[in-house]
Chains A and B, each alone.
Chain A
């Protein structure tokens, strides 16, 4: 973690710096992913869309956990709230895609701001996790019971992708078109997150994670920084929630449940919480395995216990490698470089 904190500023740009910029490589990965999914992994493009959506949900969540040091067990609430709000406006007021997205994200931001103002000054550590869990559960029960607005158990069905950019005459029910739209949004949000993590603000967040007291002594208003970090950490999950609503064509209360928040935590830790790319890898890998294993023949009678297998993998990582897959790869790469140098 210390290495990560020290290398907050990207090294000098130059032509090579731009060509090898991680965000550019990420754009290439996003462009190649559908081809790899179809031709190499024999899977499908909708799954690729699902993977990159969860990649940004985990990435946003990790700004609070991996970069600032507070574990939230309620981030599914922000995903779900944004999705529900967008779906509600789309179904009841027939708003187009982007206005719906704006409303969903704005509402989630508002909730995040209010929650942060209430929770951050009062609790940290495991208290913080539990309080966020309860805020998420309040949203879950509202989603499940407020039939008139949320559709209760059934959720809101029939969110149409035909309202997406009707002016450019593309059919977004076509999975390739929807993937391209999602990938563009995902890439822009990742770029935003990259800028935030590598900004002076991000550096202060890292300082708070490493030693809250020392950051305070240096004169930083820790509570204010954490409130801001909290709000930022809800931004990407909110966008992810809206994209999910259009991806599934529906929202349902299961999206809000505390175990869904637990999934986000698992993705992030498996991928690698102390790194920037870890949660992106974790979110994508988690969704890929979840769906890929469920259709494999040799898994036929066992696929229903998926949560148990991922649970075993997860606890193994917590015990032996809490830096996650990306963290392991980074330290392996560093060791290899040192030996060959």
Chain B
């Protein structure tokens, strides 16, 4: 039979419920990207730092959660892990990254790449290469009936938590003095510094917030995967793509970019025969496409970091 006909037949058999399920899966995958990309993007927007180590912080968040969950229980462990990761990020900023702000932007990029390698090897040294399983409490290991599908309840909870965290970050950015400083600093941090705001302290704090989001993403993902030292490496590269698609320094850009890429990946698997082998290329191909039409990303401002 002609290829076109068989494809048409294939699409005719897809039920609407399947489409809804696909969208939902895509959005929940996208939520993870959003959480990771937002942490990257806040740091990138304010300080011009592409943080390669973000992926290692994500992995650290997962391992901290794994190590603490036996003592604290899963959810306190996730929160504690995120705070620990934030502390590490702040220490790294204050001790090292701060020295690189006056330099060409590539230097800090290379520094964080080196930091990524070091943290990953430290994780291997402490926890080894073997994947570590993290089991869910029985109440959350079941599924919930959403009407169109049976959905794992923990995954649903992760989506809800992510939305709450995003709302909190949004409120922080638009309702607090710190948020005002961050937004103004993203435009022109030198000027804000001259106006008497302690920018070095703000930088450290913002690096902490970004690392917190990275660690939190790791903790939330930990029970859904087997944890291994390279867990974060692939996720973080996708988060870079999300940042570029959405636009550097943009809150809504990270959200729209992350969700679109998540849905596109899911759609590739569901709608294109044999698409599951192409699923990893989707974020990169999409980013290149966006770059052709909007070099600064969907919500990006021209002139930032040129």
Contact = CB atoms under 8 A, between A and B. Distances in A.
A192 interface: no
Contact of B237 (A71, A258, A265, A319): A258
Interface residues of B, number: 45
Given A137-B237, A266-B114, A305-B124, A129 B106 contact: yes
Contacts of A198: none
B290 to A, nearest CB: 10
B105 A318 contact: no
A134 B125 CA distance: 30
A137 B243 CA distance: 16
B251 interface: no
Interface in A115-172: 118-119, 122-127, 129-131, 133-135, 137-138, 141-142, 145
A321 to B, nearest CB: 11
Interface in A21-52: none
Given A126-B50, A126-B105, A129-B50, A318 B281 contact: no
Given A138-B285, A305-B124, A311 B117 contact: yes
Nearest to A305: B121
Given A123-B295, A137-B284, A307 B121 contact: yes
B292 A118 contact: yes
Interface stretch (B7-15, B95-103, B207-215): B95-103
Contacts of B288: 118, 131, 134-135, 138
Contacts of A319: 96, 99-100, 111
A103 to B, nearest CB: 24
A134 B287 contact: yes
A181 interface: no
Contacts of B277: 145
A145 B277 CA distance: 6
B291 interface: yes
B115 interface: yes
Contacts of B103: 322
A254 interface: no
B188 interface: no
Interface string A288-315: 0000000000000000110111111011
B113 interface: yes
B111 A315 contact: yes
Given A126-B48, A134-B287, A318-B111, A312 B118 contact: yes
A129 B292 contact: no
A30 B280 CA distance: 42
B120 interface: yes
A312 B118 CA distance: 6
Contacts of B120: 307-308
Contacts of A119: 291
Given A131-B244, A141-B280, A126 B305 contact: yes
Interface string A244-273: 000000000000001100100110010000
A304 B122 CA distance: 11
B208 to A, nearest CB: 20
A161 B94 CA distance: 53
Given A125-B305, A141-B281, A308 B117 contact: yes
B142 to A, nearest CB: 34
B291 A131 contact: yes
Nearest to B230: A259
A222 B135 CA distance: 56
Given A124-B306, A131-B291, A138-B281, A310 B48 contact: no
A308 B122 contact: yes
A314 B121 CA distance: 14
A145 B284 CA distance: 15
Given A71-B106, A319-B99, A133 B292 contact: no
A134 B241 contact: yes
Given A122-B291, A131-B244, A131-B288, A315 B114 contact: yes
B83 interface: no
A262 B111 CA distance: 11
A322 B121 contact: no
Nearest to B305: A125
A301 B77 CA distance: 32
Given A137-B284, A308-B117, A314-B114, A125 B105 contact: yes
Contact of B110 (A118, A122, A304, A318): A318
5 contacts: A122-B291, A125-B106, A142-B281, A311-B114, A319-B96
The 6 A-B pairs of least Cβ separation, nearest first, read A308-B121, A311-B117, A315-B114, A122-B295, A311-B118, A71-B106
Interface of B: 44, 48, 50, 96, 99-100, 103, 105-107, 109-111, 113-118, 120-122, 124-125, 233, 237, 240-241, 243-244, 248, 277-278, 280-281, 283-285, 287-288, 291-292, 295, 305-306
Given A134-B244, A138-B281, A322-B103, 16 more contacts: A123-B295, A126-B105, A127-B295, A129-B109, A133-B240, A134-B241, A142-B281, A269-B110, A308-B121, A308-B124, A310-B117, A311-B116, A312-B114, A314-B114, A315-B118, A318-B111
